[in-house]
């Protein structure tokens, strides 16, 4: 009954490496989101997408990019990982704004990234 799947639960990368975090949802949701979660800071939005090939910056987009080539898949890319990007990354999806239930985000289990 998994609805939002994040490809990796744990990753360890080195500074400067390119990192891809993949997220797939099977609910035909239009919106997809990437958050990072840090102790004492809660969840902060990195990027979101409301349609294929569309993306919008969230609160902390610096150092990240995203790709949405298919409706069900939303990728987060760290072009050159840095130690301050060590964090838990959460992907979520939702129906389009204005649709009944649109506001409810369904989350994946998270990807814990460590950058050495």
Partner 1 sequence: AQKVTQAQTEISVVEKEDVTLDCVYETRDTTYYLFWYKQPPSGELVFLIRRNSFDEQNEISGRYSWNFQKSTSSFNFTITASQVVDSAVYFCALRYETGANNLFFGTGTRLTVIP
Q: Does residue 104 interact with partner 1 by CB under 8 A?
A: yes
Q: How far apart are CA 62 and CA 96, in angstroms?
A: 25
Q: Which is nearer to partner 1, 17 or 58 (CB)?
A: 58
* Among 22, 86, 107, 114, contact with partner 1 (rule: CB under 8 A): 107
Q: Does residue 90 interact with partner 1 by CB under 8 A?
A: yes
Q: How far apart are CA 54 and CA 66, in angstroms?
A: 10
Instruction: List the structure tokens of 38.
Output: 């840090």
Min. distance of Cβ 89 from partner 1 in angstroms?
Answer: 11
Is the Cβ–Cβ distance between 71 and 28 less than 8 Å?
yes
Place of tokens 């949802």: 25
Q: Does residue 50 interact with partner 1 by CB under 8 A?
A: yes
Neighbours of 55 (CB within 10 A): 18
Which 3 state secondary structure label does DSSP give 83?
helix
Min. distance of Cβ 52 from partner 1 in angstroms?
Answer: 16
- Which parts of this chain interact with partner 1 (CB under 8 A)? 9, 31, 33, 35, 40-45, 48, 50, 56, 58, 88, 90, 92, 94, 96-97, 102-110
């Amino acid at each position: 009954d998994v609805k939002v799947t994040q490809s990796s639960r744990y990753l360890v990368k080195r500074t400067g490496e390119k990192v891809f975090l993949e997220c797939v949802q099977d609910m035909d949701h239009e919106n997809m989101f990437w958050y990072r979660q840090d102790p004492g800071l809660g969840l902060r939005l990195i990027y979101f997408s409301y349609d294929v090939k569309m993306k919008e910056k969230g609160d902390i987009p610096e150092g990240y990019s995203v790709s949405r080539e298919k409706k069900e898949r939303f990728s987060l890319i760290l072009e050159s990982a840095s130690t301050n990007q060590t964090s838990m990354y959460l992907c979520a999806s939702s129906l389009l704004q204005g649709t009944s239930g649109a506001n409810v985000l369904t989350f994946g289990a998270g990807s814990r990234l460590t950058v050495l």
